Amino acid sequence: MPIATVNPTTGETLETFDAFGPEEIDRRVQLAADAFARHRTTSFAERAGLLNRAADLLEQDQQGIARTMTTEMGKPLAAARAEAAKCAKAMRWYAARAEELLADEHPPEADVTDSGAASATVRYRPLGVVLAVMPWNFPLWQVVRFAAPALMAGNTGLLKHASNVPRTALYLEDLFRRAGYPEGCFQTLLVGPDAVEKILRDPRVAAATLTGSEPAGRSVASVAGDEVKKTVLELGGSDPFIVMPSADLDRAVATAVTARVQNNGQSCIAAKRFIVHADIHDAFRDRFTAAMRDLTVGDPMDESTDVGPLATEKGREDLEQLVDDALARGATAQCGGRRPPGRDRGWFYEPTVLTGVTDAMRIHREEAFGPVATLYRVAGADEAVALANDSPFGLSSNAWTRDEAEIERFSRDLEAGGVFFNGMTASHPALPFGGVKRSGYGRELSGHGIREFCNVTTLWHGKDKEA
């Protein structure tokens, strides 16, 4: 895949970039290693000052970088502005809390004595150079949620961003440079996927984090395993959205629409499978379908647009194949199921609701990365749990109910990294984010995220023989 900015609204190639050669990659890896030797010795106060300055600059740049993201991958402009604001918030959150999150831990005195020590401490120390392989769908947020904690912990970062968002990738390197980070602390590598393995195998690279497809995750995990290097993987999801009879149906429907079409439907934690109790299924179906049909599909630079284009032509083709397979096998499109009539340019697809989906259809198992919802009818909580868990993924989940027994049941039995009740799944700096099964492993954000790329070190001091 060429490294290029291609406007998905028009299909026009706006700019292409030459990939770095081996010498430039080697130079930048060495810069990152040299920077780590210095950055790891800085104080939390120094690191916080730099990260807060980056947040200030990002807020100043909000409108410009939002337009860059919308141009490169098609998200509505308002959503792009919100993404930039969220990144600044996360930077400030880690700047304020990293020292506390990584504070020395002291085991109970009785356990220290039992170990034969005079004292013992657990200390979190940075690992080194972290390689980040990031996707295009949230081109700022995906990077910042790795970079902010990694830099605050004392690590340095190398970013291999998706090949269709090079302007955003280069902006990020420039942002940290303008904030005052020393050369090498955070760098963008303009390279294709074929360069990742060699970079990851480089002994100067300590660990890797990847958000992306399951095949990409398997590849990185395989190489990292061979090199015995730490990885964190977030590999997408097909999140269930369960609605039970006690739910506030108006709120559930309104949230369901947003949860399915946020970011033009291209979000790992977007609700994709809507599992609705039979008692309210038809009412939910009719309201949900009407709301999806009424969404405005158009130019993402237009403030009135609800749903922009898919980010890539290949992405739309993949989505079409999933929908066409389902329709050919007996599913019904309550709305959508096609490209918008009259739009010959750009990679648009109509918001779609499919009913009559069965396990014989690909879309039942595969992630639909676009504004396509599958709707299921269930008889009760047991069937809802079984259907929700009937997926190779386990990133997050939604459940709409005011029944305490059902809340406890879903909390216990849904196989996911998160269960959100009566509200939309979202990521927040204070909450751990990640999944189970083929959605990956490890956690981003919160204290768990900042500790992923730390050396958890035991400091043990023996007793003085004369004591």
Which one, of 385, 394, 391, 390, lies nearest residue 435 by Cα?
394
User: Is 268 a known active-site residue?
Assistant: yes
State the burial class of residue 17 (Cβ atoms within 10 Å of its Cβ: 0-12, 13-18, 19+): middle
C-alpha–C-alpha distance, residues 92 and 72, integer Å:
26
Contact at 8 Å (CB) between 139 and 72? yes
Strand pairing report for 440-441 and 186-188: unpaired
Catalytic residue from among 268, 335, 367, 454:
268
Contact at 8 Å (CB) between 101 and 61? no
DSSP per residue, 28-46: HHHHHHHHHHHHTTS-HHH
Residue 228, sorted as left (phi over 0), alpha (psi -120 to 50) or beta, turns out to be left
* Phi, psi angles (nearest 5°) of residue 346: 85, 165
Reported in sequence order, the residue ranges of 97-216 that DSSP labels E, i.e. its strands, are 117-126, 129-133, 156-160, 186-188, 205-211
Buried b (16+ CB within 10 A) or exposed e, 427-461: bebeebbbbebbbbbbbbbbbbbbbbbbeeeeeee
Contact at 8 Å (CB) between 427 and 445? yes
Catalytic residue from among 72, 83, 173, 234:
234
User: Is 234 a known active-site residue?
Assistant: yes
The residue to which tokens 């700096």 are assigned: 429
Contact at 8 Å (CB) between 101 and 451? yes
Question: What residues are annotated to the active site?
Answer: 234, 268
